[in-house]
Structure 1
Amino acid sequence: MLRKNRLTVAVSAALGLGAAAVMPSVANAQEELLVEEVIVTGSRIQRANLVSASPVTQVDAQEFKFQGTTRVEDLMKNLPQVYSNQNSSQANGATGTATLNLRNLGDERTLVLVNGRRLPAGSPIQGGTGADINQIPAALIQRVEVLTGGASATYGSDAVAGVVNFVMVDDFEGVEFDYQFSQYQHDNNNSGIRNIVQDAGFPVPTGSNTDGEIQNWSLVMGGNFDNGRGNVTAYAGYREIDPVLQSERDYSACALGVNVGSCGGSGTSAQGTFITPVGNFYVEGDQVVPGSQVYNYGPLNFYQRPDERYTGGVFGRYQINEHVETYTELSFMDNRTNAQIAPSGAFGVSFDLRSSNPFLSDQQRSQLFSDPDELNDDGTLPITLLRRNVEGGPRNQDLRHTTFRGVFGFRGDINETWRYDIYGLYSEVSMENTYNNDLSNAKIANALEAVEFTDPETGETSTVCQSVVDGTDPNCVPWNVWETGAVDPAAADYMELPLFARGTTDQKVFSGYLAGSLGDYGIKLPSANSGVEVVVGAEYRKESLNFSPDEGFQLGLGAGQGGATNPVNGEYDVTEYFTEISIPLVEGAAYAEEVTMDLGYRYSDYSTGVTTDTYGVRGGWAINSDVKLRGSYQRAVRAPNIRELFLPTGFNLFDMTQDPCTTSPDGDPPTASMEQCQRTGLPPELYNDFVDSFAGQYNYLQGGNTELQPEESDTYSLGFIWSPTFVEDLTLSVDWYSIEIEQGIDTPNPETILDECIAGDDSQCAKINRGPLGDLWLGSDVNSSGHIVALLENLALEEVEGWDIIVDYALGLGDMGTLTFNNTMSIIDKWDQQEFAAAQTVDCAGTWGGPCGYPTPDFRNNLRATWLTPWNVTASVLWRHIGGTDDINNNVDIDSYNYFDVAAVWDVMDSASIRLGLNNVFDRDPPIVGDGAGPSNNGNGNTFPGMYDALGRYMYIGATVSF
């Protein structure tokens, strides 16, 4: 066993693969690498040598057992190089997908492959960038290879940050059934947060909560036929996830303020916030009280979305003859989830109030109509209302994605020198978005205009809508926002507006290449024994997107939508030609056991009129069997994808501590001068004289841009692998990387636009549109509401530098089995971004918030220790370390975090095993940063669930039975 583990570690490290857990089955599979030529992610050239110029981190199938993950993103996001923006913990702003983000450079810059071929675009919904890895069946994953750094010359656009390649089992024999049950448990004992919530008068959970149950079934069947010439492997899976509300955790029981010292929330409150020329008021009983209240929107938001997923598919191959093998991959997924958030309401609805409104009390009339100079010419009072529809219940977004992917291809050896691979791929993602329990802006306006009406036939007097009297809307029910608890449920039903959107993304790929060993023709260097390897190929790819919102979406009728959502129907195609050349330079020489150089080039011609050239050079130098060096340079060019070109424009929200031109709700004075604020379009008379956002959320206009140019990146890497013969079963790999992106395609941070305008950049001032009251947050009409325009642009610069360090070690214990250790470390030295040519460069390494957004720890490390016992039991412990990050806004810094996970797998017999485990053993609370962890920073529940364990301990038990 010990010798086999050494073989595993040595081969893994030589190929640049960090073994996440060394198990006997993995060792057997990797031992075959010594005698077989293999294709490693990052190249199409088959290799029998033991040195690769590309650093690749590998996760084997056993790691899924150790982590107990039924959602692939839960395992992947724990890798130090991987970040997760869209996942099951998102509520507000959720797309219903799960995406991967290498180096925190963005989902759109991470290419996801299955068996070296593309996954389709995740969703046509806004923000749905990146492939949806929900469609990948965990039961069939053989291993995952993660190549960080540019790989566009090999795979084309999107591979700027790197590639995640899921290698699937396609030669299964037998029947395997797997079931796992898992859930979360948390002790609500955070006394500091509990006191804050209780002092604010909100309920807070106590004691222990056990919830969030997940059940997962999978069935795999396969077998060889025709004397082993073919194999068919089929799979089916079902997953059911129960929801967790933020009300079930003490640290998310209220929406904390930016300094985490008090409960914040939204000014769109249950009591209403009435903004008038004579002051701001809220309702208490039948009185109006000066000031405002905030609404605690947190408890009703999902912390874990409910989810139901069906998957199924077939992998098949058949050797027709010695020259032709046909293969196919067919996969299907139907995934349905629900993103529940707080109730809708009147989010800054403006109307004119008549003193004759029958709902008004005498106190309210005298208070509101006390100053005739502030009334309109007709005697009405202009009011902007923020009032939460607490009577109607929370909003919920029913998101369903149905995905089909089919691959059909032929591959084989033409002769002993040449081989080929040709395939066609078609993928389609169908999205259904049903948005329930929003309100209609038009109906809100009707319902607020209440009048007293006497029926001429019966003489009965009642309060009705003016639209009922004049016949413009006979179904209207008046909304009594003027008395606590007086809302007629029929009014909430009347104002409700369901919204519907449908859409698809389609992907067609036709690709083929020819690979040959030119050494058979004598083409090799005199200093090498092996000849030159070459690959030439071509690829055609077409991407299409169709997004069809209903009239309510298109006209911006939904009160909680932030504005109109426009339809889009766009497509583009690209024709590409590529080549790879691998040249053995030296073999078998002193201090040069093996020296190789790899070259790659790809030419791309887009239907949008853009042509690009991508290329790369990589080198590997095995000084001897102990020490191997590698380095590479990659020029990657990423053309804008279909969402970036055609994403519909619409309002979204961004987080900001306060508007610099007025006093914040917490009483902080303006941070900019009157002259500076005038640059932002603010009239001087409104300086420090308008209402700031109570929730720290502001409007920005997002959308695609058909004028975008390709972004370019240069990636450098240098590294070495050390497998000392004098230390049995130890391998160390160290790689330095540098990724510099120019003209990066991204949405500029709206706060940065505002800051640059205040600093004197007139080009940024042109993007700021203040509302009639001077604000940047009231209303949802793009023509009249305050907002900042932040469409996708070619930004100036992003630069990331760091180190990846992997250590593998195996220690024999004699009769007690074997201990194996794997340590994967990621260090970020630099993460700079410059959003505009004249803007200041911001260092985001080790920071979060502001223009940096999601946390970027400068140090992350995973250490797994696994004991292969002699009793058919494998036990493992994982230590996950996440370095601290500083709040760029100087509010709440995040300390470093340590999590410990334990797991065990018991092979009851050859055909059955049981596994159980506990992640986040010590139930550590996540870092609590308040409303800085809002949707615009991909946070939720006062923290960042995509990086930290937000729900407490994760417990699971599962069983696998084979026949």
Structure 2
Amino acid sequence: MTISRNIRRSLISTTALCASTFFLPLYAAAEDAATAEDENVFEEVVVTGSRIIRKDIESVSPITVTNAEEIKFSGHMRIEDMLNGLPQLEAAEHAYEGNGTSGVATLDLRGLGSNRTLVLVNGRRMQPGGVKSYSVDINQIPSSLLKRVEVLTGGASTTYGADAVAGVVNFIIDDTFEGVKVSAGVGAYQHNNNNSYMQGLLDDAGYDYPKGSALDGASYNFDVAMGGSFADGRGHVSMYANYRQTNELHMDSRDYSSCALLTNSCGGSANAVIPNFDFWNVDQGTGEIDFTTERWVQMDANGGFSAFDDNYYNYAPVNHWQRPDKRFAGGGFLTYELSDNAKAYMEVMMARDTTTGQYAPSGTFFNDNYKMKCSSPLLSAAQVADICGTFGLSGDDEFAFDVGKRNVEGGPRQNQFTHNSLRFVVGVKGDITDNWRYDTSLTYGATSSEDTYVNDFFAPNIQAALDVNLDADGNMQCANEVARKDGCVPYTLFSNDVTAEQANYLTATGILSGLTEETVFNGFVSGDLPLTLADDPVQAVFGLEYRKEHYRRTSDNLFENGQLLGNGGAVRSVDGSYDVKELFSELYVPLVQNKEFIQDLVLELGLRVSDYSTTGTVATYKAGLNWQVNDSVKFRGSYNRASRAPNVVELYSPQRLALWDGTDPCAGATPIFTAAQCANTGVSAAQYGNISVSSAGQYNEFIGGNPDLDKETGDTFTVGFVATPVEGLTLNVDYWNIKISGLIGGISSQLALDKCGETGSAVFCDLVNRGPSGSLWRGTTAAITSTNQNLGYTKQSGIDFAGDYVMEMGEGSLNFKLLGSYLIDKFTQSLPGEADSEYDCVGRINGNCYPTPKWRHTASVIYNSGDFWQVGLKWRYFGKVTNPDSERDNKDISAYSYLDLSAGFKLSDNVDLAMGINNILDRDPPMLNSTNSTTGNTKPGTYDPLGRRLFATITAQF
């Protein structure tokens, strides 16, 4: 594409201004600028957020641009790691998730949810990700042909349809690439284990941890791209192939993640190596369990029982810190001129990704109430006297129990994910007249995926293995003959001599398979209307779109019936779809041009009418105003009405039991809540002070879809300016305000529990269902209901800043850059009109709030020698966050700063080297307890989780 001198200069400065990382090799920019000096041919451009072909490359809405060179110099091989450094993004699903991972990588603009962030490739949708996540998996992006990433925050539903409530991330692929490019990179972490705080807690708990220096977690990538013209220049093809491998890393590789952090202590699970028990008496006439007779004990190595005290299992070390991952991607982009008025194009993208999430061995998890006769051969005489004697039982009388036993004999659990994705685009575009163009395309995307869940306890086999008698020779055997034929082995948990053979019988493998499909037909025309209010005519776009989404998840019998104890509950099969028919239009209206103080004043309008098969018809619209005062100052403002219909998972996903991380304020010997407050949540006077705490910090919740969901609506307002007050300096300042009403989701379980206790309101208390013993984590009946519904609203506002200054220094140049965001408001009212459901997250972290500082930024200084080398230093800053619930959770987190060093060398005309160190001071992440952390006692993706990152990439291009 050739662009006039002024437009090219503007493009370079805007890209530099908005970049999320600042290690762009300035020699490359200098070469582009030199080329631009020789080009005076004007060609119009298209920017993200609009289909208008225009002369002004700056959008009415602020856009952040990151190009491929910057990504390379960031040291990140995973694109999500790179983009999470943007102040506009909050970390979503990433490679640092093991327990509970979906195996994909997603993006989350403004922390409004990945389901509200629309992901595009060359302005067209990508299909959703996989069996456990309906958000787009950006593992599919071809890094070797990636030109840049454009991030537009705020509603863009008018241009692109639903899911763009928070904004758009548009990956621009180089489909005109010429030549051959080969790139190879390596990266690894170096860390010194010297966290005195965590080491002290680990010593107190008697847990092991690593000491000294570590060099680990290596990643490798190899990329090839090639392209060229054919048929006398009428056609062009670009092809790519990418391979990436990431080595696994466990929690025990870092001292600060070698145990699960509670408040000022190392936690552990009561599902221990040597089991813990709850015993109850049973009415021998009716067979009913008398839950008022609970006796909670721990067993010692000799089979004796004592009151439960400190028998915990440290489940953290075996969990994955960084998942092992292998990804192969390949594809191509083809254009061919069929005639002067028709150019055909095709895009093919394929990817295969395999990854594994590993976590602690399965356990019985106090999941079920078993019954056993006092005459069971599994019990010693001393145990019979202790258990049955306490309840006045003997012989064939039955007692009841649940048990916390960790399956260390069978090894850790794993989710083994495979994702295969295909995206295929065909289309034709061209000129209708000198002033009107058309573009029609058909996009089909599909992702097939499988989750093989291995080594979990299989519930029916546990009961069979506990129902034991003696054979004719006096040997123990499973009493059920059918179970014996299936390989049943008695489960000798009362004698603490469980074998691998027993574990093998007790475990099973569950399989989930899924397919997501998206089909989109889009057609539009654009051009000049016979209407002129200023020098240039009014431009317009008129188009239509049809889209169909289909999601199918197939569960095997184990998942379907919830028979895997470590999975949290049943995961049922689902098959659902919806479609939408849409008409859309845009207008670009020059109002005043070439006047004093009004070089250019342009009104932008947009309208989209959508007819959903699920929620009916809805209209979205936008209005924006661009005022170019002169060559140095420009003002801009816009309003967007966005809309998002519920996706097929939100609509049709079966309701099921799951787990949430948090705190029960009525648990423990000294509850946080008063007896009256706990009574609001269903705690009896006898239970108060006697409800056991979940040592893993996990409690049950009931989640799932709702076919009666309605759409949610977003309103976005932005206003700002772009200024170049002096030569070499460019400033961007934009105020933004987003409000989303009718939020689709479940009421936060922590919020429902807290507000029930504090207010006694039936709105919240009806959601809290305690078990017979008052617990919210034992058994399958205790849970907080958090199924999908249309809730209240959330609103956010803030100011984004960007600055870029270039000055000459010696033979080279010095470049200063800043990209920052100041958060004014992040307020949520979960239920309409319910003041008790309100909370504000600005500058806070707790069970309801992701760490949300008022200010965060990236700033850099880069020196380019003007010869073959450059060096850059970047400062990443994440402001202080406070915890309003510090009486039960962590204290405040101080401001965090990271320094990254980068260098680039042009080794020859065709070969360059990028290398550097991120987090050069090896700063540990903040330590957070189980309520506030997501992985490894911290928030990876926000804070650097593993220490220094060393990287190098060499690229050859011919």
In 1, the alpha carbon distance for the partners of 2:948 and 2:650 equals: 38
Q: Which residue in the other structure is 1:769 paired with? A: 769
SS in 2 for 1:909: coil
In 1, the alpha carbon distance for the partners of 2:748 and 2:399 equals: 37
In 2, the alpha carbon distance for the partners of 1:7 and 1:826 equals: 27
Picking from 581, 590, 596, the partner of 2:587 is: 581
How many pairs are equivalent?
926
SS in 2 for 1:346: coil
Q: Which residue in the other structure is 1:595 paired with? A: 601
Q: Which residue in the other structure is 1:820 paired with? A: 815
**Quick one: structure 1 residues 279 and 857, their matched pair in 2 at CA, closer, same or farther if it must change by over 3 Å?**
same
1:253 aligns with 2:258: yes
Q: How far apart are 1:274 and its partner, in Å?
A: 0.4
Q: Which residue in the other structure is 2:670 paired with? A: 668
In 1, the alpha carbon distance for the partners of 2:66 and 2:15 equals: 13
1:307 aligns with 2:334: no
Sequence identity, in percent?
Answer: 39
Conserved 8 A contact 2:181-2:224: yes
Picking from 524, 527, 531, the partner of 2:532 is: 524
In 2, the alpha carbon distance for the partners of 1:505 and 1:34 equals: 45
In 1, the alpha carbon distance for the partners of 2:208 and 2:656 equals: 35
Q: Which residue in the other structure is 2:796 paired with? A: 800
Q: How far apart are 1:678 and its partner, in Å?
A: 4.0
SS in 1 for 2:567: coil
Q: Which residue in the other structure is 1:746 paired with? A: 745
Q: Which residue in the other structure is 2:911 paired with? A: 912
**Quick one: structure 1 residues 97 and 51, their matched pair in 2 at CA, closer, same or farther if it must change by over 3 Å?**
closer
Which amino acid counterpart does residue 457 of structure 2 have in structure 1?
A: L
**Quick one: structure 1 residues 471 and 628, their matched pair in 2 at CA, closer, same or farther if it must change by over 3 Å?**
closer
1:329 aligns with 2:335: no
SS in 1 for 2:159: helix
SS in 1 for 2:409: helix
Q: Which residue in the other structure is 1:554 paired with? A: 560
Conserved 8 A contact 2:12-2:29: no
Which amino acid counterpart does residue 199 of structure 1 have in structure 2?
A: D
In 2, the alpha carbon distance for the partners of 1:354 and 1:630 equals: 78
Q: Which residue in the other structure is 2:693 paired with? A: 692
Q: How far apart are 1:439 and its partner, in Å?
A: 1.0
SS in 1 for 2:220: strand
Which amino acid counterpart does residue 275 of structure 1 have in structure 2?
A: D
Which amino acid counterpart does residue 357 of structure 1 have in structure 2?
A: S
Superposed CA offset, 1:513-547 (max 9, x none): 100112xx3x111xx21110100000000000000
Q: How far apart are 1:907 and its partner, in Å?
A: 1.2
Conserved 8 A contact 1:51-1:620: no
In 1, the alpha carbon distance for the partners of 2:27 and 2:543 equals: 38
Q: How far apart are 1:358 and its partner, in Å?
A: 2.9
In 2, the alpha carbon distance for the partners of 1:413 and 1:876 equals: 45
Q: How far apart are 1:27 and its partner, in Å?
A: 6.0
In 2, the alpha carbon distance for the partners of 1:14 and 1:953 equals: 31
Superposed CA offset, 1:747-778 (max 9, x none): 21012122333312213322222222221111
In 2, the alpha carbon distance for the partners of 1:505 and 1:887 equals: 39
Q: Which residue in the other structure is 2:216 paired with? A: 211
1:116 aligns with 2:123: yes
In 1, the alpha carbon distance for the partners of 2:381 and 2:880 equals: 57
- The within-5 A match list for 1:346-425 is 346-348=364-366, 349-372=368-391, 379-425=397-443
Superposed CA offset, 1:312-347 (max 9, x none): 000111122221111111000000000001000101
Conserved 8 A contact 1:283-1:483: no
- The within-5 A match list for 1:787-866 is 787-815=783-811, 817-837=812-832, 838=834, 839-852=836-849, 854-866=850-862
Pairwise CA RMSD = 2.0
Q: Which deviates more from structure 2 when the two are superposed, residues 68-77 or residues 272-281? A: 272-281
Superposed CA offset, 1:75-122 (max 9, x none): 111111112220000011100000000001100110010000001111
Q: Which deviates more from structure 2 when the two are superposed, residues 473-482 or residues 610-619? A: 473-482
**Quick one: structure 1 residues 668 and 681, their matched pair in 2 at CA, closer, same or farther if it must change by over 3 Å?**
closer
In 1, the alpha carbon distance for the partners of 2:14 and 2:785 equals: 49
1:956 aligns with 2:951: yes
Picking from 476, 491, 504, the partner of 1:479 is: 491
Picking from 271, 276, 287, the partner of 2:274 is: 271
**Quick one: structure 1 residues 7 and 597, their matched pair in 2 at CA, closer, same or farther if it must change by over 3 Å?**
closer
Which amino acid counterpart does residue 541 of structure 1 have in structure 2?
A: R
Q: How far apart are 1:6 and its partner, in Å?
A: 10
Superposed CA offset, 1:792-828 (max 9, x none): 111111000001100011111242x111222100111
- The within-5 A match list for 1:486-635 is 486-518=497-529, 521=530, 523-525=531-533, 528-635=534-641
SS in 2 for 1:345: coil
In 1, the alpha carbon distance for the partners of 2:846 and 2:654 equals: 26
Q: How far apart are 1:278 and its partner, in Å?
A: 5.2
Q: Which residue in the other structure is 1:201 paired with? A: 206
Superposed CA offset, 1:546-604 (max 9, x none): 00010010011101111111100000000000000011111111111111110000000
Q: How far apart are 1:471 and its partner, in Å?
A: 6.0
**Quick one: structure 1 residues 691 and 310, their matched pair in 2 at CA, closer, same or farther if it must change by over 3 Å?**
same
SS in 2 for 1:54: coil
Which amino acid counterpart does residue 736 of structure 1 have in structure 2?
A: Y
**Quick one: structure 1 residues 911 and 226, their matched pair in 2 at CA, closer, same or farther if it must change by over 3 Å?**
same
Conserved 8 A contact 1:9-1:809: no
Q: How far apart are 1:367 and its partner, in Å?
A: 2.4
Gaps in structure 2 of 5+ consecutive residues: 280-292
Q: How far apart are 1:861 and its partner, in Å?
A: 0.3
**Quick one: structure 1 residues 562 and 926, their matched pair in 2 at CA, closer, same or farther if it must change by over 3 Å?**
same
Q: Which deviates more from structure 2 when the two are superposed, residues 635-644 or residues 278-287? A: 278-287
TM-score by length of 1: 0.93
1:237 aligns with 2:242: yes
SS in 1 for 2:265: coil
Picking from 298, 309, 312, the partner of 1:282 is: 298
In 2, the alpha carbon distance for the partners of 1:769 and 1:192 equals: 38
**Quick one: structure 1 residues 121 and 6, their matched pair in 2 at CA, closer, same or farther if it must change by over 3 Å?**
same
Q: Which residue in the other structure is 2:288 paired with? A: none
TM-score by length of 2: 0.94
Q: How far apart are 1:226 and its partner, in Å?
A: 2.4
Which amino acid counterpart does residue 420 of structure 1 have in structure 2?
A: Y
Q: Which residue in the other structure is 1:439 paired with? A: 457
Which amino acid counterpart does residue 307 of structure 2 have in structure 1?
A: P
1:637 aligns with 2:643: yes
**Quick one: structure 1 residues 207 and 392, their matched pair in 2 at CA, closer, same or farther if it must change by over 3 Å?**
same
**Quick one: structure 1 residues 278 and 762, their matched pair in 2 at CA, closer, same or farther if it must change by over 3 Å?**
closer
Conserved 8 A contact 1:554-1:565: yes
In 2, the alpha carbon distance for the partners of 1:171 and 1:942 equals: 46
Which amino acid counterpart does residue 868 of structure 1 have in structure 2?
A: N
In 2, the alpha carbon distance for the partners of 1:471 and 1:716 equals: 65
SS in 1 for 2:754: helix
**Quick one: structure 1 residues 109 and 28, their matched pair in 2 at CA, closer, same or farther if it must change by over 3 Å?**
farther
Conserved 8 A contact 2:155-2:165: yes
1:872 aligns with 2:868: yes
Conserved 8 A contact 1:15-1:55: no
SS in 2 for 1:461: coil
Q: How far apart are 1:478 and its partner, in Å?
A: 1.4
Q: How far apart are 1:651 and its partner, in Å?
A: 1.7
In 1, the alpha carbon distance for the partners of 2:15 and 2:860 equals: 20
SS in 2 for 1:390: coil
**Quick one: structure 1 residues 350 and 376, their matched pair in 2 at CA, closer, same or farther if it must change by over 3 Å?**
farther
Q: How far apart are 1:482 and its partner, in Å?
A: 2.0
In 2, the alpha carbon distance for the partners of 1:609 and 1:104 equals: 25
Conserved 8 A contact 1:828-1:858: yes
Conserved 8 A contact 2:17-2:804: no
In 2, the alpha carbon distance for the partners of 1:124 and 1:602 equals: 31
Picking from 119, 131, 135, the partner of 2:136 is: 131
In 2, the alpha carbon distance for the partners of 1:810 and 1:435 equals: 54
Conserved 8 A contact 1:376-1:382: no
Which amino acid counterpart does residue 429 of structure 1 have in structure 2?
A: T
